[in-house]
Amino acid sequence: MIHSRLPSEVEEVLEGAMVAVLTAVNQRGEAVSHPMLPLYDREKGLLYFTSSILFSKKLNHIKRNPRVSVLISNRDYIRSRSYHVVQVKGEARVLDQDLSSGWQWLLPLWRKKEPYIDAFLKRRFALPLFWERAVIEVQPRKVAVWRGGDLDSEPELHVLGEKL
């Protein structure tokens, strides 16, 4: 199925997910996975992650090969009414021109999931390098949805067009 944007129930899962597994391809051509907090911007239809430069391997992988996948699977980690297992494949880009504050426009989305983030940010001096962060922006291309988290059923497949 070709869509211009993600189905709304999938967007709900992306918005409610507290943990996603982001997978990139390393220099040896192997898939490498990282559990991360996903931030979904419904207006733009784009998925975001922020990565501290302390854990920057994935940033270098994505710069070399922008193809990534994201999996949201565990019910315990999803705060939404409906539950589906969602796999997103897409192209990512790393935004790291302003590591100090270039990610802060994502704070409203981050705050919705982790309201205590502001308290941590106020103590930025305690972990200065942790708060130097790059943004990973993922443009979804292909989405597989296991409805209700039923892995024994065939997933729904969605292909997204250029324009969301």
Q: Which of 99, 106, 109, 164 binds another protein (CB under 8 A)?
A: 99
Location of structure tokens 């999938």: 10
Question: Considering CB under 8 A, how many residues would be counted as binding another protein?
Answer: 59
Question: Under the criterion CB under 8 A, does residue 105 sit at the interface with another protein?
Answer: no
Question: Under the criterion CB under 8 A, does residue 129 sit at the interface with another protein?
Answer: yes
Alpha helices in 17-164, H assignment, sequence order: 57-64, 107-113, 117-122
Q: Which range binds another protein by CB under 8 A, 4-12, 38-46, 112-120?
A: 112-120
Contacts of 131 (CB under 8 A, 6+ apart): 52, 100, 121, 124
Nearer to another protein, 29 or 43 (CB): 29
Which positions from 44 to 83 touch another protein by CB under 8 A, shown as an x/- string? --------xxxxxx-x-------xxxxx-xx-xx------
70: left (phi over 0), alpha (psi -120 to 50) or beta: beta
Question: Under the criterion CB under 8 A, does residue 146 sit at the interface with another protein?
Answer: yes
Q: Which two tokens stand for residue 43?
A: 């207006």
Smallest distance from the beta carbon of 107 to another protein, in angstroms? 15
Q: How far apart are CA 55 and CA 11, in angstroms?
A: 27
Q: What are the φ/ψ torsions at residue 138 (nearest 5 degrees)?
A: -115, 125
Smallest distance from the beta carbon of 22 to another protein, in angstroms? 8
Question: Under the criterion CB under 8 A, does residue 87 sit at the interface with another protein?
Answer: yes
